Amino acid sequence: MKNKGSVFSLIPYYAWIILFVIAPILLVGYYSLLDLDGNFTFANYKQFFTSVYLKMTLSSFWYAFLITVFSLLISYPAAYLITRLKHKNLWLILIIIPSWINLLLKTYAFIGIFGNKGPINAFFEKIGLGNQQILFTDFSFIFVSVYIFIPFMILPIFNSLDKLNPALMDAAKDLGASRITTFRRVIIPMTMNGIKAGIQAVFIPALSLFMITRLIAGNKVITLGTAIEQQFLVTQNWGMGSTIAVFLIIIMFIIMFLTGSKEKGDAQYGKNK
Amino acid sequence: MERISKGAKFYLAFVMIILYAPIFFLIFYSFNSGDSMVNFESFTLDHYKAVFEDDRLLIILINTIIVALLSALFSTIIGTLGAIGIASMRNRKLRNTMLSMNNVLIVSPDVIIGASFLILFTMVGIKLGFTSVLLGHIAFSIPIVVIMVLPKLQEMNNSLIDAARDLGASKRDILTRVIIPYIKPGIFAGFFMALTYSLDDFAVTFFVTGNGFSTLSVEIYSMARAGVSLTVNAISGLVFFVTIILVLGYHFISIRKTKVGVRK
C-alpha cells in the first residue's frame, strides 16, 4: 500500500503522538522526581517503598485480581451461551447497551440499591437476616466493579468464541472427547486471546478506578487510582501522585506484555468469512 | 446448532437482569414524588421538570454535547488520516511501533491520562476549562478512530488504488474518491465511538476541567457525592432514552450500510 496518503495529512497524527502520547508519559516521569517546591529529589520513590504505599499497592492488586476473576467467571459462560443463541448479535447489543450508560449513573444507582433502606436490605429483613451495612464495604466495591466490567469482559470473549470454527468441536466429539475435555482442551485454548483481552480490559481499569471507591466504598478501599487522584487534586502533591502514576504505568506495560496476543494466532484460527 | 438447556437460559436471563436492574431501578425512582430512592410515594414528572428548569444543568448538558460533537469530529479527521498513514507504511516494524504508540492511550487507565494531561496543560499554559477538556477528549478519542478505520483499510484491495492510478487519478482523487468512500463504514463507526467515549468520560474531564466548566459526568459525580438527589435519577432516565435511540439508530444505519455496501 504505497503512496496512500501524502506526508502532510499525517502531520496532525504525528503531532498527536508526540504531544499526547509521548510527552505526557515523560512529564509524569519528570514530575515524579520533583518535591513540593519543584526541587529535584528521589524522596517520592523512597516514600513509595514504605509500608504504607506498598500495602496500598498490594491491596489494590488484590481487589483488581478479585474483580477480574469474578468478571471472568460470570462472563465466560454468558459469552459462550450467547454464541449459541439464534439472535446472537441482538443479544450482544443488549449486553453492550448498559456499558454505554454513564458509569457514574450506574455507580450512583447502587447508593440507592445497597443503602440502609434499599431493596437489598428490605429483602434481608424479610428473610430474617436483619439490616446489614452493605454500602462502604469491600463487598459493595467488588460487586459494583464487577457489574460495571462484565460487558467489557463479555465482548472480547464473545468475539473469540464467535470466530471458533464449529467443525473443531465436532471433530473433538468424533474423536471421543467428552464435553469437559473439549471445553478444556479445545475451546479454552482457542479463545485464549479473547480471555487475555478481557483480562486486560478489566484488570488495568480495576487498579485505577477512583470514583467507585469514593462513592461506594467510602474511603475504606484505596486503589492506586484513588491515591493518584488524592495526591493530584486534594493534597496537590503532584510529585508523589506522579510517582504512583509511574508505577501504575509500569504495571500496565507488564500486564499488556503478559496478555498481549500474537497477531498471527488470531488470524489463523479465524473462521473464513 | 444445538439447543441450549433451561439452566443455561436461566443463567443468561439472570445476567441480563443483573445488568439492567440498577438502570431500571434508577429510572423507576425518577418518577417518585418523594425525595429518596426508598419509598415510592406517587408518580410525578417533577424531577424531569426540574432538570429542564435548571439553567445551570442545561448549560452543562449543552457543554457536554458540544464537547462530544467537536471532539468526535476532530478526532475522526485526525484518526482517519493517521490510519491511512499507518496502513501505507511498508516497513512492518515501523508500522507495529506506530500501532503500539496508538494503543497506549486506549489501555492507559483514565487516571493516568487525566493526571498527565493536567501536567501537560499546566506546563504549556492552557487555561483549564473548555479548551483543555476539548483537547483532552480529542486526544483520547483519536486512537479508537484509528482502530475502527484500520481494518477497513487492510481489507481494501490494493488493485483498486492501482486501477485508479492507471486511469489517471491524482493522489488527491485516490484519497477522496477511492479510499474514503471505501472505508466510510469504519470512519462512521469511529466517529460514533469517539462520541460515546466523550459522553462517557468522567476521569479525564475531572482532572483537566477548571472551576468554571463542567460536563454531565463531573456534575453527576459532585451531585452523587452530596447525596441522593432524584434529579440525578431523572438525568439517568433521559440518558438511557437517548442511549437507546443512538444505539438503535447506529444499528439500523450499519445494517443498511452493510446491505447496500456488500461487494463480495
CATH number of the domain that residue A218 is part of: 1.10.3720.10
Q: Is residue A260 part of a domain?
A: yes
Does residue A241 contact residue A228 with C-beta atoms inside 8 Å? Answer: yes
The CATH class of the B58-235 domain is mainly alpha
Q: Is residue A24 part of a domain?
A: no
CB of A269 within 8 Å of any CB in chain B?
no
| Domains in chain A, number | 1
CB of A246 within 8 Å of any CB in chain B?
no
Q: Hey, are the CB atoms on B221 and A211 less than 8 Å from each other?
A: yes
Q: What is the DSSP string of B159-219?
A: HHHHHHHHTT--HHHIIIIIIHHHHHHHHHHHHHHHHHHHHH--HHHHHH--SS---HHHH
The model carries a pTM of 0.86
CA dist A68 → A29, A105, A159, A197 (Å): 28, 22, 18, 12
If contacts are CB pairs under 8 Å, which of residues 35-74 in chain A contact chain B? 74
CB of A28 within 8 Å of any CB in chain B?
yes
Domain ranges for chain B: 58-235
Shortest Cα distance from B83 to chain A (angstroms)? 9
Q: What does the pLDDT read at residue A267?
A: 36
Does residue A137 contact residue A115 with C-beta atoms inside 8 Å? Answer: no
Measured in whole angstroms, the distance separating CA B111 from the mean position of its chain's CA atoms is: 18
Q: What does the pLDDT read at residue B87?
A: 86
Q: Is residue A12 part of a domain?
A: no
Q: Hey, are the CB atoms on A241 and B104 less than 8 Å from each other?
A: no
How large is the ipTM? 0.85
Does residue B199 contact residue B240 with C-beta atoms inside 8 Å? Answer: no
Cell numbers given for A118: 434499599
Task: Note the pLDDT tens digit of each residue in B176-199.
Answer: 888 889 999 899 989 988 998 898
Q: Is residue A97 part of a domain?
A: yes
Residue A39 contacts by C-beta under 8 Å, 6 or more apart in sequence?
none
Q: Is residue A70 part of a domain?
A: yes
Q: Is residue A66 part of a domain?
A: yes
Nearest-CA residue of chain A relative to B145?
A: A13
Q: What does the pLDDT read at residue A17?
A: 94
Give the mean pLDDT of chain B.
88
Q: Hey, are the CB atoms on A5 and B84 less than 8 Å from each other?
A: yes
As a whole number of angstroms, the distance between CA B132 and CA B118 comes to 9
What type of residue is B26?
L
Does residue B142 contact residue B78 with C-beta atoms inside 8 Å? Answer: yes
Chain A residues within an 8 Å CB radius of B26: 105, 108-109, 112
If contacts are CB pairs under 8 Å, which of residues 74-113 in chain A contact chain B? 74, 77-78, 81-82, 84-86, 91, 93-95, 97-98, 100-113
Chain B residues within an 8 Å CB radius of A95: 15-16, 19
Nearest-CA residue of chain A relative to B200?
A: A102
Q: Hey, are the CB atoms on B88 and A5 less than 8 Å from each other?
A: yes
Size of interface A-B (CB pairs under 8 A): 241
What type of residue is A268?
Q
Q: Is residue A29 part of a domain?
A: no
Q: Which domain holds residue A97?
A: 51-269
Place of cell 509511574: A246
Nearest-CA residue of chain A relative to B124?
A: A19
Cell numbers given for A36: 513540593
As a whole number of angstroms, the distance between CA B65 and CA A165 comes to 43
Task: Note the pLDDT tens digit of each residue in B69-107.
Answer: 999 999 999 999 999 888 888 888 888 888 888 988 988
Chain A residues within an 8 Å CB radius of B137: none
Task: Note the pLDDT tens digit of each residue in B222-252.
Answer: 988 888 889 889 988 998 898 888 878 877 7
Q: What does the pLDDT read at residue A265?
A: 38
Per-residue pLDDT of chain A (273 residues; tens, 9 = 90+): 444 445 667 889 999 999 999 999 999 999 999 988 888 999 999 999 999 999 999 999 999 999 999 999 999 999 999 998 888 888 888 888 888 888 889 999 998 899 888 888 888 888 888 888 888 888 999 999 999 999 999 999 999 998 888 888 888 888 988 888 888 888 889 899 999 999 988 999 999 888 888 888 877 788 999 999 999 999 999 999 999 999 999 998 898 888 875 543 343 333 332
Q: What does the pLDDT read at residue A266?
A: 40
As a whole number of angstroms, the distance between CA A88 and CA A68 comes to 24
Range B16-53 burial, b when 16+ CB lie within 10 A, else e? eeebebbbebbbebbbbeeebbbeeeeeeebbbeebee
Q: What does the pLDDT read at residue A183?
A: 84
Q: What does the pLDDT read at residue B176?
A: 84
As a whole number of angstroms, the distance between CA B57 and CA B216 comes to 8
Of A6, A104, A248, the CB nearest to B171: A6
CB of A211 within 8 Å of any CB in chain B?
yes
- Mutation pick from B116, B165, B217, B236 vs chain A, by most beta carbons of A within 10 Å, is B116
